[in-house]
A = this chain, B = another copy of it.
């Protein structure tokens, strides 16, 4: 019997039940379920892990509730610079883009970079040139405009602050941010035993200087290897870059013989806690084990598997 699994996340952080209206909670859960379904349907039809993570992340990018694609936060300049990465655990091929504008679905561009550029990582206007040449869908600035992200930016744009921790609460904003790390991601095991990972983000509100986080970096925010696991991270990107988090999970499995659960636990609950940072990650291995692991109050997340699991959640525990 074929086995397949898809896990997704939409960011981790201080996400408390008291911060979400019942209506908004429903919208988030619907968004997560739609993304899960988009990827899982492909796996059910015998599709591969790479296409499944791409489809799931595209759905999250298209949903304005999440900080990726439509719904990406504003930079200091008032536009949107997005980072993303996709990796094929079968071949260790990877494609990534950073600081890219005007791309409707950055994760699709990543796949094209992986398959057609001869490179792994493209940046800025050059990445956009490549996208146009490959016929990747672009979108005008207005497409990326969302009123609540705009408000978040207006509030701090004249300061030097950048916002990881969006302090707006449910009372004054439709999107409660608490202290939330806005990134989306998906990891999958397909029926052929192949793993893949995809991660996409708009980064930090009011970011400047062309700041790049961990999401587009192979081994930091995103990694997949059939020998070990597929991982997608969400958290304070600077710490994930320095700790090479996604590859660290893989190395603990490969070199120390840890299970997926042990490796995720060590990295998220021990190493990253010592760095004092709230964060989370999702991971799967070829044995259909999965982890939705976070040390913060909540993580937008979902899991669907051929063993019958189909669940989305936001806060701690299972709700």
Q: Which residues of A contact B (CB under 8 A)?
A: 87, 92-94, 98-99, 117-127, 129-130, 162, 208-213, 217-220, 223, 237-238, 241-244, 247-248, 251-252, 255-256
- 28 A-B pairs within 8 Å (CB atoms) are namely A87-B242, A93-B242, A98-B123, A99-B123, A99-B124, A99-B126, A118-B162, A119-B209, A119-B211, A119-B238, A120-B237, A120-B241, A120-B242, A121-B213, A121-B217, A122-B210, A123-B210, A129-B209, A217-B218, A217-B220, A218-B241, A219-B220, A219-B244, A219-B247, A247-B247, A247-B251, A248-B251, A251-B255
Question: At the interface, is chain A mostly helix, strand, loop or mixed?
Answer: mixed
Chain B neighbourhood of A211, CB < 8 A: 117, 119, 121-123, 126
- Copies of the chain in the assembly: 2
A226 to chain B, nearest CB (A): 13
Chain B residue nearest to A94 in the complex (CB) = B242
Chain B neighbourhood of A213, CB < 8 A: 121
- Distance of A248 Cα from B220 Cα, bound (Å): 13
A183 to chain B, nearest CB (A): 15
- Distance of A251 Cα from B257 Cα, bound (Å): 13
Chain B neighbourhood of A243, CB < 8 A: 92
Chain B neighbourhood of A248, CB < 8 A: 247, 251
Q: Which of A122, A237, A244 has the most CB of B within 10 A?
A: A244
